[in-house]
């Protein structure tokens, strides 16, 4: 005996509403913050992400140098304008700029990061977030491991940062922001390049961007299928590491991680359970 339309509607409507809420929540998170699990670590300097080697041979035709600053200049002279373009897979980004297109900071960071890896450097992308849930308050840069120390080589503004005359990384800047010693930090400009953005003309001061320093654990464009599907994505998917600083609670990051858990684990499992119960109910009618 078939279920009547009213019963189907009464059972199906809550499922549709829950599914729409879940899809909207994931879409909203993805468009405002890194869609990843946030994990605290005692030492951010120990995080060396694992990345997929694909596409590196394509870069070999254009970028060669034993010096990371020379490579930085090569990348920034290749891109002539700042505009939205491919920012995850490096090959589409390279083809895009070779045909006259531009990139924003995430695309520049991904391109330069892969160029560094091609030339034997240990490097990592760094996500800087002034305020969560505001896309305009984020920046992506690159750190290079030089003489056992992470230092910033920024492919958007062609700068590094120094404290007391020594080049430093993002975590040192973040710690200085929290302990009050930030006045000793200075940008080090590496000279004019073709890529137009400049730190001094940025819409906001650069220092508050270091409120939250996040390091991804892997190459997200090459995630396996299982690492993309809720609820497995929460445990098998991308991770963003942040370093715990004394006297800072990081409740905002824990709140974000709670939202991520809600929309990637709780709601999908609830939707699956409700779907199974609804099907059994309809079959019993």
With cut-offs at 50, 70 and 90, classify the pLDDT of residue 188.
Answer: very high
d(CA 163, CA 188): 10
**Which residues lie closer than 8 Å to 224 by C-beta, 6 or more apart?**
236
Query: Residue 155 in contact with residue 142, Cβ under 8 Å?
Result: yes
Q: Is 241 exposed, middle or buried (0-12, 13-18, 19+ CB in 10 A)?
A: buried
Phi then psi for residue 177, to 5 deg, are -65, -35
Q: Looking at the chain, which runs of residues are DSSP E strands?
A: 37-41, 123-129, 138-146, 149-152, 159-163, 166-168, 185-189, 212-216, 239-243
**Which residue from 21, 32, 19, 25 is spatially nearest to 260, judged by alpha carbons?**
25
Cβ contact 17:83 at 8 Å: no
Rounded Cα–Cα distance for residues 97 and 85 (Å): 9
Q: Which residue has the tokens 């599914």?
A: 19
**Residue partners of 67: CB distance under 8 A and separation at least 6:** none
Q: Copy the structure tokens of residue 242.
A: 């942040």
Q: Report pLDDT for 1.
A: 45
Average pLDDT of the residues in 151-168: 97
Q: Where are the domains of the chain?
A: 1-32+250-285, 38-226+236-248
Question: pLDDT by residue (tens digit) across 108-153?
Answer: 999 999 999 999 999 999 999 988 777 778 899 999 999 999 999 9
- Amino acid 78: pLDDT: 95
In angstroms, the CA 11 to CA 9 distance is 5
Q: What is the mean pLDDT of residues 23-34?
A: 83
pLDDT digits (tens, 9 = 90+) for 73-84: 999 999 999 998
């Amino acid at each position: 005996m078939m279920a009547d339309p009213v019963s189907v509607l009464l059972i199906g409507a809550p499922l549709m509403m829950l599914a729409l809420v879940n899809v909207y929540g994931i879409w909203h998170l993805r468009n405002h913050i890194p869609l990843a699990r946030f994990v605290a670590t005692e030492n951010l300097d120990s995080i060396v992400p694992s990345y997929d080697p694909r596409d590196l041979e394509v870069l070999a035709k254009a970028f060669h140098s034993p010096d990371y600053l020379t490579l930085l200049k090569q990348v920034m002279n290749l891109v002539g304008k700042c505009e939205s373009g491919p920012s995850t897979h490096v090959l589409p980004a390279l083809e895009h700029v070779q045909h006259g297109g531009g990139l924003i900071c995430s695309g520049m960071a991904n391109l330069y990061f892969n160029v560094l890896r091609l030339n034997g450097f240990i490097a990592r992308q760094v996500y800087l977030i002034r305020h969560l849930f505001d896309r305009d308050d984020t920046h992506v840069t690159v750190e290079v491991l030089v003489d056992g120390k992470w230092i910033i080589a920024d492919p958007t503004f062609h700068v590094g940062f120094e404290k007391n005359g020594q080049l430093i990384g993002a975590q040192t800047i973040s710690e200085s922001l929290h302990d009050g010693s930030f006045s000793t930090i200075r940008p080090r400009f590496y000279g004019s390049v073709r890529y137009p953005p400049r730190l001094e003309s940025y819409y906001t001061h650069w220092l508050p961007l270091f409120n939250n320093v996040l390091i991804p654990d892997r190459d997200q464009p090459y995630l396996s299928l299982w690492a993309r599907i809720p609820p497995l994505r929460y445990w098998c998917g991308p991770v963003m590491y942040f370093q715990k600083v004394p006297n800072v609670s990081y409740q905002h990051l824990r709140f974000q991680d709670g939202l991520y858990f809600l929309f990637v684990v709780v709601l999908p499992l609830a939707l699956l359970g409700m779907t199974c119960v609804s099907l059994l109910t309809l079959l019993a009618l």
